[in-house]
Amino acid sequence: MLMITFLQSFLLCLILPPQLAKSSTETTTSAGHSIPFPSYEHLNIKESIAAATNLRPAAASTTAQYTDQELNLKPTHHNISSFKLNLLHRDKLSFSWNNNHGRRFEARMKRDVQRVASLTSRLGGGGAAAYEVEDFGSDVVSGMEQGSGEYFVRIGVGSPARSQYMVIDSGSDIVWVQCQPCSQCYHQSDPVFDPADSASFSGVSCGSSVCDRVENSGCHAGRCKYEVSYGDGSYTKGTLALETLTIGRTMVQNVAIGCGHMNRGMFVGAAGLLGIGGGSMSLVGQLGGQTGGAFSYCLVSRGTGSSGSLEFGRSVLPVGAAWVPLLRNPRAPSFYYVGLSGLGVGGMRVPIAENTFQITALGDGGVVIDTGTAVTRLPTAAYVAFRDMFMTETANLPRAPGLSIFDTCYDLNGFVTVRVPTVSFFLSGGPILTLPARNFLIPVDERGTFCFAFAPSPSGLSIIGNIQQEGIQISFDGANGYVGFGPNIC
């Protein structure tokens, strides 16, 4: 009952004008809007541990049945104004399953550190150097190794459609799959896609305008080659092609995809990557006017029996969301930046300099919303002030040693519920996004150790990770340059 009450209050803080919402705490933002929101919440310890540690992978038969129905290999229409995909966390998939919560946690944090290192290299100082490779021919890099392999969708590739698990990545502008012939391929759960079996596969010529849109593209035997490489050494190598994708019950023709013949990295069963970043070569960019650059996703909370969703099209944009402008960084057009003016703990604003979260004239800093990063990163000075205020407000809770990337942990063994302050993002323009406790105080073992799920950034870049996004509907209106939060919960 406490969780339901909190979530209702959470929605109020996003979408209702002050005169329609009542609360014991009221904060005035820098924009002058007075928005009520709850300052404290009761976190159920046993339920939280059970949700995080007692996960079970979807049964193979159940998964296969769901994917075939969602894929619907015989589409009934070709209308691509909107379509929907189920979204699954990797821990729900049998090919990546590990029944040891400690090992799952350790692996997730390792991926997260690698993901953040990659992003900061690309956005916080590495720039284009992060993409350099010794010789021509490497394709899209594995988003899996950088941690972007957190959420999967199931789509069909080719004609007839071949079912494939794909990783979604909001920081990538590439759609790619492993392809036969594979001279070097990692293991994936489905058969590797064979272009020879697809009637709709068409290689892209070197002189094509599509080839020109790919970074570091090249030419071999008249066919377009391309490359994108991250600093960890993961990569795929292959050619660019136009292919039909079957998404839900919708066929999308002539999508530019990477066909990787040499691939290396920790891809954990996926056939490839579905880039939904802000650039022209992502699926969102290629759909363009057909969907109005609009899409919405819900990352379902770990431990629930349901799946999340990824939807495309202007009709999926919700009424009543809290809309704030998307910010553009010419240095990193693939990424979705949002304005952040400050942070809150327990209804109180953290004392942080106003320019902490701004994008500099050189393109450094700023705040990126990323599906591939798990734990939100903040510039060190902001993180320390934020953490210290949270520690002050939780001084009555027994502390535990830090673990992995977390330096603020609590020993909650034996507690039924604990009262904790909520944390908030003060978004530019006025809205306040207040998180439920399960989105920032997470169990890291089965004994009752919980940690504050934020960490310092190795640069001035801030990243809002998927743990903090879970359970909240997040929508992007690319045509008009806005991102919306709520009003639905997942």
* Residues classed as catalytic: 169, 370
Partners of 456 in the beta sheet? 378
Please say whether the beta carbons of 446 and 101 come within 8 A: yes
DSSP per position, 274-336: EE-SSSTTSHHHHHGGGTTTEEEEE-PPTT-SS-EEEEESGGGSPTT-EEEEEEP-TT-TTSE
CA distance 345 to 339: 19
What are 102's two structure tokens? 């400690």
Q: In DSSP terms, which residues pair with 348 in a beta bridge?
A: 345
Give dist(CA 374, CA 405) in Å, integer. Answer: 12
Rounded to 10 degrees, the C-alpha dihedral 109/110/115/116 comes to: 70
- Do residues 452 and 406 touch, judged by C-beta distance below 8 A? yes
Whether the bond between 431 and the residue before it is cis, its omega within 30 degrees of 0, is no
- Find out whether 29 and 341 touch, Cβ atoms under 8 Å: yes
Please name which of 454, 459, 458, 469 lies closest in space to residue 408, comparing C-alpha atoms.
454
Token pair recorded at residue 194: 């064979």
